[in-house]
Amino acid sequence: MTVKTRNLANEPVAASGTAAFFEVVPAPLNADGEAKRVDTYKAVSQSPVATDAHGVGRVSFQAPAAGSYLIVTTLSDAAKRQTVASTNVWVSAEGGDSTSYRSEAMQIVFDKKRYKAGDTATVFIARPTAGVPILLTIEGDRLHETRVLRGGGPSVTVKLPVKAEYSPNAYISAIIVDGKQLVSATRSLNVMPADKFLTVTVTPDQKRYKPGDTARLTVSTVDAAGHGVPAEVSVGVVDGAIYALSPDHTPDPRSVFHGPRANTVDTAYSFAEDYSGGADKDAANPRVRKNFLDTAAWFPAIRTDGTGKAVVSVPLPDNLTTWIVTTRAHTADTKVGGDRMSFLTSQDLIVRLATPRFMVEGDRLTLIGLIHSYLPKQTTIRATLSAMGLALGGSGDARVTIDPNGVAKQTYALTAETAGTATLTLKASGDQAGDALEQAFPILPHGTADIAVMAGTSTGKTDLAILIPKDAVPGTATLAIELTPTPLGAVAGALTYLRDYPYGCIEQTLNRFVPELVAGPLVDARIDTKRLRDGMERISALQHQDGGWGWWVNDGSTPTLTAYTLLALKEAHAAGLTVPEPILRNGTQYLIRQWPNLGFDKITPTLVERGAGPDEQALVLHALSRWGLPRQDGIRQLNTNREGLSPQGLAHLAMAAWYAGDRLTAGSLIGSLDGLAINSEALSHWEPARTQPWFSDTTETTGLVVRAMTLVQPDSPRIDAGVRYLLTQRRGSHWQSTKDTAAIVLALAAVSQRAGEPPATMPVTVTMDGKTLAQTDLADPTAWRTGYRINVKADQLTVGNHSLTIQRDDSDTRALPYSLERSVFVRADHLDAAAREGLTITRKYRMLTAAVRDAKAGSNYARWFSVKEAAVLPAVSGKLAPGDLVLVELSIDTAKAHGYAMIEDPLPSGMEVIPDQNGDIAWSYWWSHREVRDDKVAFFIRQLPAGKHQVYYVLRPEIPGTVRALPPVISEMYAPDVRARDAETQLTVGE
């Protein structure tokens, strides 16, 4: 018997005492089979027992006869604290039974947890009534064997040969009929499929490495007989700190491919899954560590040779950590295996520096530098901190004496003075060892982004005024000018904008790669196959169980977003991308099921989808027609009663009819759109419906109409007029949002595919303040495909007015579309709140008191706080302390409903967001999605009803100092000019 002793902290402690052994004497039964009194205990023997420093000891005894025994241990530690523990065991006679063991139910006990084919399993069976015959069966995918065990006492022992056909497990079932009751027990007999297992080992060429070394790892794969076999192995080398945050949930391939099977003979079972199936560095000038990676290496398919060996080299980054190496292997004949090992990167002297993820201009933080010495004797170290982009208060140079295995602490007061990148280098050097660490992080400007956009067409001479405000943050001004001699020239910049947009709802996921797949070949853009693969994987992950899509994974499916997704996937499919059949089938079936529910305006005081019905119907019909599932009845119905269809809805219906083969209806709808055009000089555009956010954008509507006309009536003069309008509405290299930009890119691509060759030249000169920025005839074919871009250097954008001139050849009357974007951060002493259109946002920081922290322990703060609960929490005042918990409350007050809203709340420097531990709890937030970034928290709300609403999250201060949280902003994602902000907040964290 093994005895283990632990204290309340589950730490091993040494203890000593005795182990006493008692035989259990069952009480006699009366005529009804019930015990007349309780069992008694007969002392057998007593032995001394002691546990070592690891809290482990062993003791043994010999049972005088078969039967049931009680073991009682009484032990005391060095402080004479005593503990008593007991357990029961039974001893079975070889091949017989025991009269002293009594069970109130059927029990089956094996002598091992796992067996190999060819073993003999000793099975102990206890029954509540002695002498009753036992039906013993061996089951699994079929009935392997049956036996009847007759006679005997309350328990019986039987030996069973373990056959290979039982692998990976079989079920031993014991059944008796006691009186008129059937009593049974079933247990899994686990048989290790050794012939299907690989043993994978990884052996490093050193026990310990230094940062920057190259680790050579030998991978070995052997079969159950110990012979090396060729296999394909994945090898990952990951910082152990990552697994400390979240364990590796990848299952063992042995249990996946050769794990326990269900019992198909009797599905009313219960079984226990207990089978599982370098040279020293110069101390005076230490190497600077600055290359830090979470993953040092990932080899998806290493192949071992005929002897089962392979060697991989891993250049190690500068992390000082335990690296976890995980392997998973398989062979052509389905043997599988895996391993997990670790190795260390370390050195005798280590510096650590706790830095924030970012700072804001004016923030003041006190950073801590730690110097760890693992040298065998006391040493004197010179510690030096150098700072770039930060003002260092006091000296960054000090000499410290550190004991063996000791640590020295240094504090540094730093102020962020100028926006840009801060770089800190902490060096420690002594006679015997040294280390240096470099860490960089951004300094955000304290101000607001001031963006001015201009777009139009140039003939002759065009003069534009550029203003750089007097309060501009130095170095933040940018000016980009784009000349687009053809519509296609506006596409390349727009694709970059779509690709780099920082969020990933279903719309942005699609538009990150679908427009590039369609239009990229026209502008010589290289298609990133990884982005295509990642995009399809995310689309699959965002698809709901009902087959539809919502804005994010946790909100409900809608026909609008599902149809939008299927249309985008059809564009990708037409461009050559394979769309997995289940994604397509489930999505189209969702639309077909939803069709009877469409066509009704959703007009309530709280819902955003007011008036969406007919436009939504047209969008759904378009999607179904594109995938070869047209609903002719729906097309006829909407065409007959066009009331309620906006120009966007008419465009979708025209394309639905076209792809359904109804060219007459498609032409009639284009005629209606021609009559709805709003014309101004040589420009045409179409106004959307304003009742529903998804269909409410002018530029997107115009793009969709242009695309429909290009498909149905490609010779319409409205196409060029619509394109000219779109080019004058650009905001730099893109339009208002990702959604309208993607629609316009697809429209321009469709127009360009039908256009002829552009003229050879278009001379132009661009000057600013009399100095030439660019002079070109735009003769390079690249300029016709991707546009001509001019980026003005920051040192030319001084405070004040600047005159920009686009000079054309006087004899050239062709219009040259242009767009420019001037961006600059404007500094302010204090950033105040700004409301718009009856929309406000207010941020409050509240302290989580100890009582609330205890009450909410283990729960999701953001989920369970009510408005009333939050209101009674004290507001943050005075200094916070590192480790405090702060509830952040964002309150929105809106006079009208908004759709597809986004809140971005900048974080204070030196504070961390406490993540929600959702686990398997169903989504119950009223908002759609949340993302935590280094410098902000973003909330996404598909439907924001009129009224007051709150969202919450929790912060933990970690670094002392005085910092400013920039204003939180709420806006509509697809109408970003609809926005409001609160004021900035200053917070202080004490040491």
| Mean pLDDT, residues 439-468 | 92
Q: How far apart are the first and last CA of the chain?
A: 52
Domains of the chain (ranges; CATH) run 2-190 (2.60.40.1930), 194-262+281-345 (2.60.40.1930), 349-444 (2.60.40.10), 473-482+762-827 (no CATH), 486-747 (1.50.10.20), 839-989 (2.60.40.690)
pLDDT band at 889 (very low <50, low <70, confident <90, very high): very high
Task: Calculate the alpha carbon distances from 297 to 234, 317, 684, 691 in Å.
Answer: 11, 10, 55, 52
- In angstroms, the CA 740 to CA 761 distance is 31
Q: Is the pLDDT of residue 512 over 80?
A: yes
Tell me which residue of 511, 516, 538 sits closest to 527, measured CA to CA: 516
Beta partners for residue 892, in sequence order: 841, 949
Q: Which residues contact 569 (CB under 8 A, 6 or more apart)?
A: 510, 514, 539, 579, 583, 584, 587
Q: Half-sphere exposure of 211 toward its Cβ, with a 13 Å CA cutoff?
A: 24
Q: Kindly report which listed range (269-278, 387-396, 571-580, 877-886) carries the lowest average pLDDT score.
A: 269-278
Q: Is the pLDDT of residue 605 over 70?
A: no
Is the torsion defined by CA of 115, 116, 117, 120 positive or negative?
negative
Tokens of 721: 């007029």
Alpha helices in 28-155 (DSSP H): none
pLDDT band at 849 (very low <50, low <70, confident <90, very high): confident
Query: Which pLDDT belongs to residue 274?
Result: 36
pLDDT tens per residue, range 906-933: 999 999 998 875 544 566 788 899 999 9
- In angstroms, the CA 45 to CA 728 distance is 98
List strand residue ranges (DSSP E) for 320-432, in order.
322-330, 336-345, 349-353, 359-360, 364-373, 379-388, 390-393, 397-402, 407-416, 420-429
pLDDT band at 277 (very low <50, low <70, confident <90, very high): very low
H or E element at residue 491: helix 491-500
More confident residue, 797 or 809: 797
- In angstroms, the CA 418 to CA 445 distance is 7
Side chain identity at residue 837, one-letter code:
E
Tell me which residue of 58, 66, 40 sits closest to 4, measured CA to CA: 58
Instruction: Confirm if 6 and 12 have CB atoms less than 8 A apart.
Output: yes
Q: Which residues contact 518 (CB under 8 A, 6 or more apart)?
A: 571, 572, 574, 575, 745, 746, 749
pLDDT band at 829 (very low <50, low <70, confident <90, very high): confident
Tell me which residue of 975, 818, 876 sits closest to 485, measured CA to CA: 818
Query: Which pLDDT belongs to residue 307?
Result: 93
Tell me which residue of 690, 650, 639 sits closest to 673, measured CA to CA: 650
Tell me which residue of 163, 160, 164 sits closest to 173, measured CA to CA: 160
Q: Is the pLDDT of residue 694 over 70?
A: yes
pLDDT tens per residue, range 731-767: 989 999 999 999 999 999 999 887 666 666 889 999 9
Helices and strands in the chain, H and E counts = 19, 53
- In angstroms, the CA 894 to CA 947 distance is 5
Q: Of the ranges 101-115, 610-624, 887-901, which is most confident?
A: 887-901
Average pLDDT, the chain: 88
Helix (H/G/I), strand (E/B), else coil: 183: strand
User: Rg for the chain (alpha carbons), in Å?
Assistant: 37
Side chain identity at residue 838, one-letter code:
G
- In angstroms, the CA 234 to CA 204 distance is 16
Q: Is the pLDDT of residue 603 over 50?
A: no
Instruction: Confirm if 990 and 879 have CB atoms less than 8 A apart.
Output: yes
Q: Is the pLDDT of residue 857 over 80?
A: no
pLDDT band at 280 (very low <50, low <70, confident <90, very high): very low
Query: Which pLDDT belongs to residue 530?
Result: 86
Secondary structure, 3-state, 838-902:
CEEEEEEEEECCHHHHHHCCCCCHHHHCCHHHHHCCCECCCEECCCCCEEEEEEEEECCCEEEEE
Q: Quick count: other Cβ atoms within 10 Å of Cβ 679?
A: 11
- In angstroms, the CA 487 to CA 242 distance is 48
Q: For 433-463, give the DSSP string.
A: -EEEEEEEEEEE-SEEEEEEEEEEEESSEEE
pLDDT band at 607 (very low <50, low <70, confident <90, very high): very low
pTM surpassing 0.85?
Answer: no
Task: Calculate the alpha carbon distances from 551 to 159, 230, 507, 883 in Å.
Answer: 61, 47, 7, 36
DSSP state of 921: P
Q: Is the pLDDT of residue 272 over 50?
A: no
Query: Which pLDDT belongs to residue 786?
Result: 82
Give percent of the chain with pLDDT exceeding 70: 91
Would strands 107-110 and 120-126 be described as parallel, antiparallel, or unpaired?
antiparallel
Q: Which residues contact 278 (CB under 8 A, 6 or more apart)?
A: 209, 210, 213
Calculate ∠ Cα 236-237-239, nearest 5°.
Answer: 135
More confident residue, 15 or 38: 15
pLDDT band at 31 (very low <50, low <70, confident <90, very high): low
Query: Which pLDDT belongs to residue 276?
Result: 31
Surface-to-core class of residue 72, CB atoms within 10 Å of its CB (0-12 exposed, 13-18 middle, 19+ buried) = middle
Query: Which pLDDT belongs to residue 94?
Result: 62
| Mean pLDDT, residues 139-153 | 87
Q: For 259-320, give the DSSP string.
A: -PPP-SS-SS----------PPP-TTSPPEE----SEEEEEEEEE--TTSEEEEEEE--S--
Surface-to-core class of residue 156, CB atoms within 10 Å of its CB (0-12 exposed, 13-18 middle, 19+ buried) = buried
Give percent of the chain with pLDDT exceeding 90: 61
pLDDT band at 601 (very low <50, low <70, confident <90, very high): low
More confident residue, 236 or 526: 236
| Mean pLDDT, residues 890-901 | 94
Q: Which residues contact 143 (CB under 8 A, 6 or more apart)?
A: 137, 265
List strand residue ranges (DSSP E) for 404-561, in order.
407-416, 420-429, 434-444, 447-458, 461-468, 478-483
Q: Is the pLDDT of residue 159 over 70?
A: yes
More confident residue, 304 or 814: 304
Query: Which pLDDT belongs to residue 628?
Result: 95
If you search the block for the tokens 């089962």, which residue do you land on? 308
DSSP state of 414: E
DSSP state of 53: T
If you search the block for the tokens 């005529």, which residue do you land on? 31
pLDDT tens per residue, range 302-343: 999 999 999 999 999 988 888 999 999 999 988 998 989 999
Query: Which pLDDT belongs to residue 817?
Result: 92
Q: Half-sphere exposure of 49 toward its Cβ, with a 13 Å CA cutoff?
A: 27
Tell me which residue of 873, 871, 875, 942 sits closest to 903, measured CA to CA: 942
Q: Kindly report which listed range (33-42, 91-100, 255-264, 694-703) carries the lowest average pLDDT score.
A: 91-100
Q: Is the pLDDT of residue 142 over 70?
A: yes
Side chain identity at residue 366, one-letter code:
T
Query: Which pLDDT belongs to residue 268?
Result: 46
- In angstroms, the CA 796 to CA 827 distance is 19
pLDDT tens per residue, range 89-107: 877 766 555 555 556 678 8
Q: For 753-768, give the DSSP string.
A: HH--PPPS---EEEEE
Peptide bond into 260 cis (omega under 30): no
Q: Which residues contact 231 (CB under 8 A, 6 or more apart)?
A: 198, 200, 221, 303, 304, 308, 329, 330, 331, 335
H or E element at residue 587: helix 581-594
Query: Which pLDDT belongs to residue 385?
Result: 93
